C-alpha cells in the first residue's frame, strides 16, 4: 500500500486473503478448462492460442502487432502461436490491403467452424455447471468479475 493509504483492518485483510485463494483456485480450474477447450478446437493446439482465435473471430482480420497489443503480450510470443495455428490450418496470413509489406491474420473456414463447435460445447458445459444458480446470481457474478477485470486495468501494483 502507498504511504497515503490507511492499513486495512483485520476483517478486510481476511476477506482479501479469501478472495485471493478463491481466485487462485478459479484460475487453476480455468487453465485446465482452457486445455480441454483448446483440444476440442484441434488436438495439437496449445491452450494459450485459444484466446487468439477468439479475438480473430470477434475482430476479423488483424495484423500481428495489433493482435499482440490486444492481449498485452510480446510480438514474438504471438508470432509463435500464430505459426502453430497456421500449421494446424486454423488461421491464414494474407497481404494486408492497406500495406502490402504487412500481413493480415484471419481464421480459416475450418478454424472458424472448429472454434464455433468448441464454443458451443463450452457454453453447454457452463449451462450444466450453473443450472442450480439463479439468473440473478449468474448476472451478479458476471458483473462482479467485469468490475474486477476493470480494476485490473488500473495499474495499482
Sheet holding 91-96, edge to edge: 62-63, 99-107, 91-96
Fold entry, domain 10-152: Arc Repressor Mutant, subunit A (1.10.10)
Residue spans of alpha helices (H) in 42-89: 47-59, 64-71, 75-87
Q: Are 62 and 51 in contact (CB under 8 A)?
A: no
pLDDT, position 150: 87
pLDDT, position 95: 86
Q: Are 103 and 61 in contact (CB under 8 A)?
A: no
Contacts of 60 (CB under 8 A, 6+ apart): 106
Per-residue pLDDT of the chain (157 residues; tens, 9 = 90+): 444 556 678 999 999 999 999 999 999 998 888 888 888 899 999 888 998 999 999 999 999 999 999 888 888 889 999 999 999 999 999 987 777 778 899 999 999 999 999 999 889 988 999 999 999 999 999 999 999 988 887 766 6
pLDDT, position 57: 96
pLDDT, position 119: 92
Q: Are 118 and 42 in contact (CB under 8 A)?
A: no
Look at the block and give the residue holding cell 493446439. 45
Indicate whether this model's pTM tops 0.85: no
pLDDT, position 136: 98
- What gap in Å lies between CA 141 and CA 157, rounded to an integer? 24
Amino acid at each position: 500500500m502507498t504511504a497515503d493509504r490507511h492499513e486495512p483492518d483485520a476483517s478486510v485483510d481476511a476477506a482479501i486473503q479469501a478472495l485471493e485463494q478463491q481466485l487462485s483456485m478459479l484460475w487453476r480450474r480455468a487453465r485446465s478448462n482452457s486445455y480441454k477447450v483448446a483440444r476440442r478446437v484441434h488436438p495439437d493446439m496449445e491452450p494459450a492460442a485459444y484466446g487468439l482465435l477468439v479475438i480473430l473471430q470477434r475482430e476479423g482480420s488483424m495484423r500481428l502487432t495489433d493482435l499482440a497489443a490486444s492481449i498485452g503480450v510480446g510480438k514474438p510470443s504471438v508470432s509463435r502461436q500464430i505459426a502453430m495455428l497456421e500449421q494446424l490450418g486454423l488461421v491464414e496470413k494474407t497481404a494486408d490491403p492497406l500495406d502490402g509489406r504487412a500481413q493480415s491474420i484471419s481464421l480459416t473456414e475450418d478454424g472458424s467452424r472448429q472454434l464455433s463447435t468448441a464454443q458451443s460445447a463450452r457454453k453447454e458445459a457452463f449451462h450444466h455447471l450453473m443450472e442450480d444458480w439463479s439468473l440473478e446470481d449468474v448476472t451478479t457474478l458476471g458483473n462482479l468479475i467485469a468490475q474486477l477485470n476493470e480494476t485490473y486495468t488500473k495499474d495499482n501494483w
